[in-house]
Structures are given as C-alpha cells and as structure tokens.
Structure 1
Amino acid sequence: MADLYEDTRQQAGKHNLKNQWFAAHGIEVERRKLDFGDYARTDGFSNIVIDSKQDMQEVAGNVGHDHARFVRECDRAAEAGYRLYILVEEHPEYADRDLLATWVSGVCRRCRKCDPLESKCVARRFKPLNGPTLRKIIDRIEYDHGARFLFCDKRDTARVICDLLGVSYLK
C-alpha cells in the first residue's frame, strides 16, 4: 500500500527531486486525482493536504489572477474537514512576513522602468503583484479560508511533506 497520494494533475517530470527523495527514503507514492491539494496521506489518519508551489511567482499568479479559483480550492478543503497547507518551494526566509513584503515580481525585475514596490507602473497598464500586496492577500487567505502558507528550500520539500502529513520515512 502506498504511503502518499500525489495528484495526477502534478506535471510529470517537474517533481523529480521530490520523487527521488521519496524513493530514496522508502516512501511509496500513488498517483490519483485529489479534489484539492497535491499530496495527501493514504491511510486517512491525517486531515492535512499539501498544495506545492514552485516559487513566489506561481503563488502571485494563484492569489492574484486566479484568486477566485484558488480560494474555492481552499474552501473545498475546509468544508471537507481538511487543513490545506500551501508549501512554497522557494525562499524559506519568507516565513518572516516582513521579508515576504520585500518580494519583487520577476516581471518588475525585468522591466526596470519603475520602482517595483511603488503602486504605479509606467510600463504596463496594470502593476504586477509585488510583496506588500502579496503579503496582505496571503494573510487574508489564511485568516478567511483556513489555509496556511509555508516556505521551504526546494531540497527539503519532500521531507517537509512527510513531516506535515506524519508519514514515516527512512533517515
């Protein structure tokens, strides 16, 4: 029997580092469609599901442009009795929300026509989502929808998933 379920909508080949870690530590992973999140425990002894995000740029897209869809997923998990953890595989230091407020979108870093932390953009009609606003949105999602954002280094993601779900692994 598998130890973890991985959502079938996870893109094949993009999670090799996690899959290699799981295999090396004796974790059997079964791919199946999950209603929310990317990883869940198979035995039903946990009410936690984990949605992994590659980086802050993906988070910004999810909580900005795709906000309504993202919040619906958070609410579906909560209504089913699950706690959704959004595990961001970049910048573990952003667990400090003051540092999170300093994040600058890749769009703004490439543009260089205005101050990325200002509210107006001289190059685009709409300003890309940046740290201060992103921090407020994340705080609000946690408060209103029960999700929790965690940050870790990409090398530690698989271990953090197992720790959060309470899955034993070979040390």
Structure 2
Amino acid sequence: MAAPLRIDTRQQLGKHNAKNRWFAEHGVETVAVKLDAGDYAYAPSNILIDTKKDVDELSMDCGKDHARFVREIDRAAASGCRLVVLIEQHPEYNDRENLRHWSGYVCRKCRKCDPNGGDRCATRKYTPMHGARLAKILDKLEENHGAKFVFCSKSKSAQIICDMMGIPYD
C-alpha cells in the first residue's frame, strides 16, 4: 500500500473541496498533518507543493509577504525538497511573456494608471504588483532559491499534484 498524501492542517476549510473530492474518487489516501513548508507532501517524493488560488494571492506572497515566502521556499530546500507552487488560474501564464501583461485586482478595479508601464498608482501611495515585476520575481525565486512555479486550471490541480509527486491513483 502506498504512503498517504500529507495535507497541511492549516489549509483553509472549504477552499479545497474539489481537490479532496478528486483524491477520494481516485483512491488517493490522505492524512492531515502540520507541514513546515507547502500544502502537500508525499513520503517518497522530494517535492513539496504549495497551492495558490490565483495570481493575486501569488502576487501578495511575492510582494508584501516576500520575506516569509522566501523563508518557506528555503525551509523546503533545507529539508532536501523542492517547493513547487501550483497557481490554480490561467495555465497560459506558464509562458512568462503572457504573465508580464497581468494586472492585479487593485489595478483592474482602479484603471487610473498603467502599472505595467511602470507608473505609480494614481490613487494609492504605493505601486501595486504588476505582471512584469511578478514575472521577474518568479524568475529570481526559481534561479536563486530553487522554487518552481506552475499555473494550471483549478479542475486539474489534484491530478497535477499526484503526477508531480508520483502518487498512484485510479
């Protein structure tokens, strides 16, 4: 019998029902435990997976929460694992050129400036995260800290988690 997929106990309740349902339907045994890094771990694999619901959540981790996020990536590396961040939105953003044209929620709502053009926000005291800056940060996190960023559709994330970690399923 295969080892169970370990799921971090700090996952938000109700936000991962589709993945949990997919695991159950495909015979993937799961167990909830506190993980030091990532949201998903599987004993024989050296990959830890952290999920983000969308690019806006990723941009917050790469901007305002950057230092904490880097510490999490480095904790994974120190334990001999690679952190793969699975962003459940816009698979086309796997092409960093497409990601460079992304605008965050704040800018999509405001529409008074062009942050991708390097403008400061006309209504805020800071410049919100924009696609070109986010793409550059992801490149540096991959290069300097060994993380990997993968974009996928929400409906495919559970299967991608299993495939990346080598978890057998029905």
Q: TM (normalized to structure 1)?
A: 0.96
For residues 97-108 of structure 1, the aligned pairs below 5 Å read 97-108=96-107
1:73 paired residue number: 72
Asked if structure 2 preserves the Cα contact closer than 8 Å seen for 1:2 and 1:30, the reply is: no
Q: CA deviation at 1:112?
A: 1.4
Letter in 2 for 1:125: K
Question: What is the rounded CA distance, in whole Å, between the counterparts of 2:131 and 2:123 in structure 1?
Answer: 19
Aligned sequence identity (%): 54
Structure 1, 110-119 or 145-154: larger mean CA deviation: 110-119
Q: Unpaired runs of 5+ in structure 1?
A: none
Distance in 2 separating the partners of 1:33 and 1:2: 16
**What residue in structure 1 maps to residue 91 of structure 2?**
92
Q: Residues of 2 paired with 1:93 and 1:6: CA distance?
A: 27
Question: Partners in 1 of 2:113 and 2:137 — Cα distance?
Answer: 23
Counterpart CA distance in 1 for 2:19 and 2:109 is 30
- Deviation digits for residues 111-153 of structure 1, max 9, x if unmatched? 0111232222111110110100000001000111000000100
RMSD between superposed Cα atoms in Å: 1.0
Q: In structure 2, how many angstroms separate the alpha carbons of the residues matched to 1:50 and 1:121?
A: 33
Deviating 4+ runs (over 3 angstroms): none
- Secondary structure, counterpart of 1:81 in structure 2: coil
Provide the TM-score with structure 2 as the length reference. 0.96
